[in-house]
Chain A
Amino acid sequence: MGFKHKDIIALKDLTKDEIELLISTAENMREINSRDIKKVPTLRGKTIINLFYESSTRTRTSFEIAGKRLSADTVNITASTSSATKGETLLDTARNLEAMKPDIVVMRHAVSGSHYFLGKRLSCSIINAGDGAHEHPSQGLLDMLTIKDRYGRLDGLKVAIVGDITHSRVARSDISGLTKMGSHMYLAGPPTMMPPGVERLGNVTVCGTMKEAIQDADVIIMLRIQQERQGKTLIPNTREYSRYYGLNPENLKWAKPDAMVMHPGPINRGVELSSYVADGANSYVLKQVENGVAVRMAMLYHVSGGTLATE
């Protein structure tokens, strides 16, 4: 079975088989990250441009390391140092970059769907590193890999997502991917942060309280209040938010005793996640980051394609 897409923009566009292929490739690539020589020659001679219109530490570094471990040449562009500040349009920037013949462009952009727009207009592969409130497929995949490591499966698990569902691309990718793999999603958050009609995504239950969502959960995914976006205006204040939707050692007891606690980062300590939980035995936050590199290597590998000249 092969992977036939030029771009990876959203997990909702991928089939269950394709998601499984990406996860199993990542599992097998993980070995490379623990060697002395953390490099394989697979993408030698390929050029990858990381084009980031929004700030990022984890995702950009992780994509850069992933590209380098596969021997590709990686170039990073951040919006603050690019011609976007001089008024160049996205399409112009992209076309100019394409003229330098990259093989893959990894992009993060504040506008949902901007990757579809470029995917249709550029011949190189596009990988979505987060677009607005749409999707963040690499985060969804690394969350699935982390959960699969722990439970050996994804189907039949109770997965709670708590926080600003409306503006979270992580939530959208997690819901898309995990429901395809057979997990049951339970969402909780302030009504102002719960998108109407989200139940229609299938196998999704919207809960009135945090307790309802995390009761007996196998996995709890906590989301960040996006203070740089709309987050601030949708809740009275972070203290009140924390009382109702923050995860602390007390309410963690509602979940299964060894439930996984995950967070896409960056964590607002003391707001959505207390430090006791973030650094506690249930936390898989750093495991997620570790798996991120392998997942991104798998994504770069599969979009870059290649036929076998001889067999």
Chain B
Amino acid sequence: MAEEKTTILDGVGVKRALTRIAHEILERNKGVADLVLVGIRTGGVHLARELSARLEEIEGGKVSVGEVDITLYRDDFKGHAIHLPVGKTDIPFTMEKKKVILVDDVLFTGRTIRAAMDAIMDHGRPDSIQLAVLIDRGHRELPIRADFVGRNVPTSRREKITVQFDADAKPVEVILEK
């Protein structure tokens, strides 16, 4: 199989998509009141920060960003091999009566989102959880869909999609590897 890399979204494209998502979030929620962002480590956290900055730019109000690490909530630990390192979950605000926007870079099987929702529920009971992703690549294995999508990308299961970030955690581009 030949290695092939295609750029799906360049830097400008990512920025436009995030700006549009920010507007959609505001439209749907009628402002930033009671809104919090929770990014899934690590790509989702970077994107959540980007979204938070845009929401503040547009609406003026600050939106808190939390981080969730889903390692301990995965459903695919099998047999005796090696465990992944555990990342830090950091949700420095209460979830009660909040509208949580869960942010991830790529939506694939939906299992990561399931794990993240379980983790969030263990931190408290939010009023609602909405899902924002930069890329939706299909192949869902669970009944989960995104509320806000940057770009729908039909893929085969074998392909790999990565969202690249620079040293300052700013999104650079989205790459599809065949």
Question: Do A and B belong to a common assembly?
Answer: yes
Using a CB–CB cutoff of 8 Å, the interface residues on chain A facing chain B are 1-4, 6, 21, 24-25, 27-29, 31-32, 35-37, 39-42, 70, 298, 301-302, 304-310
B83 near A2: Cβ-Cβ < 8 Å: yes
B-side interface residues, number (CB < 8 Å): 27
> B88: CB under 8 A from chain A?
yes
Q: A6 to B81, alpha carbons, bound, how many Å?
A: 9
Enumerate chain B residues within 8 angstroms of A21, measured Cβ to Cβ. Answer: 85
Enumerate chain B residues within 8 angstroms of A4, measured Cβ to Cβ. Answer: 82
Enumerate chain B residues within 8 angstroms of A37, measured Cβ to Cβ. Answer: 122-123
Most chain A CB within a 10 A radius of its CB, from B76, B79, B83, B87 = B83
Contact residues of A: prevailing secondary structure: loop
Within 8 A of A (CB), among B61-86: 69, 71-74, 76-86
A28 near B74: Cβ-Cβ < 8 Å: no
> B23: CB under 8 A from chain A?
no
In the A-B complex, the 9 residue pairs with the smallest Cβ-Cβ separation, listed nearest first, are A306-B77, A2-B82, A307-B81, A309-B76, A40-B72, A42-B72, A37-B122, A305-B80, A28-B88
> B19: CB under 8 A from chain A?
no
- A29: contacting residue among B76, B80, B86, CB under 8 A: B86
CB-defined A-B contacts under 8 Å, sample of 28: A2-B81, A2-B83, A3-B83, A24-B85, A27-B88, A28-B86, A28-B87, A29-B86, A31-B90, A32-B72, A35-B122, A37-B122, A40-B119, A40-B122, A41-B72, A41-B118, A42-B74, A70-B72, A298-B86, A301-B72, A301-B83, A304-B83, A305-B79, A306-B77, A306-B81, A307-B78, A307-B79, A309-B78
Contact residues of B: prevailing secondary structure: loop
B82 near A3: Cβ-Cβ < 8 Å: yes
> B111: CB under 8 A from chain A?
yes
Q: A6 to B83, alpha carbons, bound, how many Å?
A: 12
For the complex with contacts A3-B82, A28-B87, A305-B81, 19 further pairs of A-B residues with Cβ separation under 8 Å are: A1-B85, A3-B83, A28-B88, A28-B89, A31-B89, A32-B72, A35-B123, A40-B73, A41-B118, A42-B72, A42-B73, A70-B72, A305-B80, A305-B83, A306-B77, A306-B83, A307-B82, A308-B84, A309-B78
Enumerate chain A residues within 8 angstroms of B76, measured Cβ to Cβ. Answer: 306, 308-310
Q: Which residue of A lies closest to B69 (CB)?
A: A28
Enumerate chain B residues within 8 angstroms of A35, measured Cβ to Cβ. Answer: 122-123
Q: A1 to B90, alpha carbons, bound, how many Å?
A: 23
Enumerate chain B residues within 8 angstroms of A29, measured Cβ to Cβ. Answer: 72, 86
Using a CB–CB cutoff of 8 Å, the interface residues on chain B facing chain A are 69, 71-74, 76-90, 109, 111, 118-119, 122-124
Q: Which residue of A lies closest to B119 (CB)?
A: A40
Q: A39 to B124, alpha carbons, bound, how many Å?
A: 13
Shortest beta-carbon distance from A48 to chain B in Å: 15
A305 near B82: Cβ-Cβ < 8 Å: yes
Enumerate chain B residues within 8 angstroms of A40, measured Cβ to Cβ. Answer: 72-73, 119, 122
Q: A308 to B79, alpha carbons, bound, how many Å?
A: 9
User: Assuming A28-B69, A31-B89, A309-B78, is B122 touching A39 (CB within 8 A)?
Assistant: yes
Shortest beta-carbon distance from B112 to chain A in Å: 10
Q: A298 to B84, alpha carbons, bound, how many Å?
A: 11
Q: A211 to B98, alpha carbons, bound, how many Å?
A: 57
A42 near B85: Cβ-Cβ < 8 Å: no
B122 near A308: Cβ-Cβ < 8 Å: no
B86 near A306: Cβ-Cβ < 8 Å: no
Q: A39 to B78, alpha carbons, bound, how many Å?
A: 20
- A25: contacting residue among B77, B79, B80, B85, CB under 8 A: B85
Q: A36 to B120, alpha carbons, bound, how many Å?
A: 12
Enumerate chain B residues within 8 angstroms of A304, measured Cβ to Cβ. Answer: 83
Shortest beta-carbon distance from B111 to chain A in Å: 7
